[in-house]
Structure 1
């Protein structure tokens, strides 16, 4: 008996593509599995950019370092640092905030 699934078809619908990517990103159960998925999905420079943004978000949230100090310590451009800071503190998505808070709670256990 065949399992019926929604037919997969090419699309340019960015919202649908983003939803599908989110579903895929929710499947890894370990850091190693997530690392393998990210290495398949991203070029080395894309993965580095994501990792750097995450590091900057944690530095902005967890330290009193200035943007210049973060730039000097990481090599990340001040433009990227400003953007991360804006998304961390002002933009409505609050993805950085949610992840930082979730990790803080799991690290407190």
Structure 2
């Protein structure tokens, strides 16, 4: 059964279990295999679209230029930008770690 968007707060234990499963994986090959099993192709496309625009937003590139470069919708770019501003900090941490600068 699909939950309503507001229900994310009530899923704390389930999100923790998923995070623990991801944390237990070793290396990008294992993470990729897990993501391919867990997600539909459309979900993977959505997540990779979001991830592709993160560094461009951090560089201060305008939304329209990001759209022209990536073909990611301006709406998605705006959502990622809001998350970078007001989210839990996961994007920033992942960028730092993927560049070899743990934070």
Normalising by structure 1, we get a TM-score of 0.77
Aligned residue pair count = 92
Q: Which runs of 4+ in 1 moved over 2 A?
A: none
Quick one: distance in 1 between partners of 2:52 and 2:88? 18
User: Which residues of structure 2 form unaligned runs of 5+?
Assistant: 1-9
More helix by proportion, 1 or 2?
2
Q: CA deviation at 1:19?
A: 0.6
| Residue 56 (1) aligns with residue 53 (2) | yes
Q: CA deviation at 1:103?
A: 2.2
| Residue 70 (1) aligns with residue 66 (2) | yes
Report matched runs for 1:20-59 at 5 Å: 20-59=17-56
User: Which residues of structure 1 form unaligned runs of 5+?
Assistant: 1-12
Q: Which has the larger radius of gyration?
A: 1
Normalising by structure 2, we get a TM-score of 0.81
Of 78, 83, 107, the residue aligned with 2:79 is 83
